[in-house]
Amino acid sequence: MARVMGIVNVTPDSFSDGGLFLDPERAIAHGRELAAQGAGILDVGGESTRPGAAAVSAAEELARTGPVVEALAGAGAAVEVSIDTSKLRVAQAALDAGAVIVNDVTALAGDRQIAGLCADRSARLVLMHMQGTPRTMQRHPHYRDVVDDVRAFLEQRMDLALREGLSEGKIWLDPGIGFGKTVDHNLELLRRLGELRAIGRPIVIGTSRKSFLGKLTGRDVDERLGGTVASNVLALRAGAEVFRVHEVAEVREALEVAEAVLGRRDWRRAPAPPGAERVSR
């Protein structure tokens, strides 16, 4: 069953919503809204990874994400909270506050102890592929075969996580759309996602509003919903299970329809959406 991961960026400089939710109260309200729209997971991040983004200290990242994770993961929360970080201290504080997933876009290159931390806390860990660093990654992305290379990288980082004591069942994998990739690399990865699913772990996919969609459609960053929906639906068909997006309601709806068409969901069992008419036309 597809799971939607709603993006809560507590940053001044994220590529599409930088500055909108830097105020913790706004970020918390936004997270609650995404949960109401059907996000099963909220991914809270305090450092932008857009190409060329400036690095942020652990103290600053903690100050940004701490109150937001605490509020969204607190008692009675109906969603799971994920912390988008590669810093051990930030991950630790988020798990203390009730987060259950660490989303590490450096796949343990930032700090391999994150794997041991996840093991100790029974938390899940997302290992994402990136070529280079956010500062350099879009300069000259180069692969022998992008899918084979990403697969080999993810298998190797998964081995490292296992050696650090994390059990395989706690690991999710992500090809890192837009992280050191040309448009063609992104398209090839989306087309051949099944080869990554064959590793045997759930695949997380993040295409939301990314620049390759702009290059394909000529649309600005806040006009990429159509491209976001299309790429997520096709990623679902190709084997992705977790969809990291800004626009939860629209992607959730598209995935529900796509799952029914693909015969992966019995639509009769689904709850009627708010305001749905009983008579079908």
Binding of ligand HH2 at residue 154 (CB under 6 A)?
no
Helix, strand, coil: what percent of the chain each, to 5? Answer: 45, 15, 45
What character string, x for contact with ligand HH2 (CB under 6 A) and - otherwise, covers 244-263?
x-------------------
Closest Cα partner for 83 from 128, 125, 119, 38?
Answer: 125
Closest Cα partner for 7 from 17, 100, 267, 64?
Answer: 17
Residue showing the smallest CB distance to ligand HH2 in the complex:
206
Residue 28 or 127: the one with the smaller Cβ distance to ligand HH2 is 127
Binding of ligand HH2 at residue 177 (CB under 6 A)?
yes
Binding of ligand HH2 at residue 174 (CB under 6 A)?
yes
The Cβ of residue 61 has, within 10 Å, a number of other Cβ atoms equal to: 25
* The binder of ligand HH2 chosen from 12, 16, 164, 221 (CB under 6 A): 16
Residue 60 or 273: the one with the smaller Cβ distance to ligand HH2 is 60
Residue 149 or 265: the one with the smaller Cβ distance to ligand HH2 is 149
Structure tokens at 35: 């949960």
Residue 276 φ/ψ region, left for φ over 0, alpha for ψ in the -120 to 50 degree band, beta for the rest: beta
Residues paired with residue 8 on neighbouring β-strands, in sequence order: 44
Block residue for tokens 């749905």: 276
Residue 182 or 265: the one with the smaller Cβ distance to ligand HH2 is 182
**Contact region with ligand HH2 (CB under 6 A), list: 34-42, 88-96, 174-182, 189-197:** 174-182
Residue 44 φ/ψ region, left for φ over 0, alpha for ψ in the -120 to 50 degree band, beta for the rest: beta
Binding of ligand HH2 at residue 186 (CB under 6 A)?
no
* The binder of ligand HH2 chosen from 4, 15, 72, 252 (CB under 6 A): 15
Q: Catalytic residue positions? A: 210, 244
DSSP single-letter state for residue 208: T
Residue type, position 58, single letter: A
Residue 7 or 93: the one with the smaller Cβ distance to ligand HH2 is 7
Binding of ligand HH2 at residue 31 (CB under 6 A)?
no
**Count of residues of this chain found to bind ligand HH2 when the rule CB under 6 A is applied:** 21
Binding of ligand HH2 at residue 49 (CB under 6 A)?
yes
Determine contact, residues 265/1, Cβ cutoff 8 Å: yes
Phi, psi of 271 (to 5 degrees): -65, 145
* The binder of ligand HH2 chosen from 99, 105, 118, 229 (CB under 6 A): 105
Structure tokens at 141: 């992305």
- Interacting residues with ligand HH2 (CB under 6 A): 7, 9, 11, 14-16, 45, 48-50, 84, 103, 105, 126, 128, 174, 176-177, 204, 206, 244
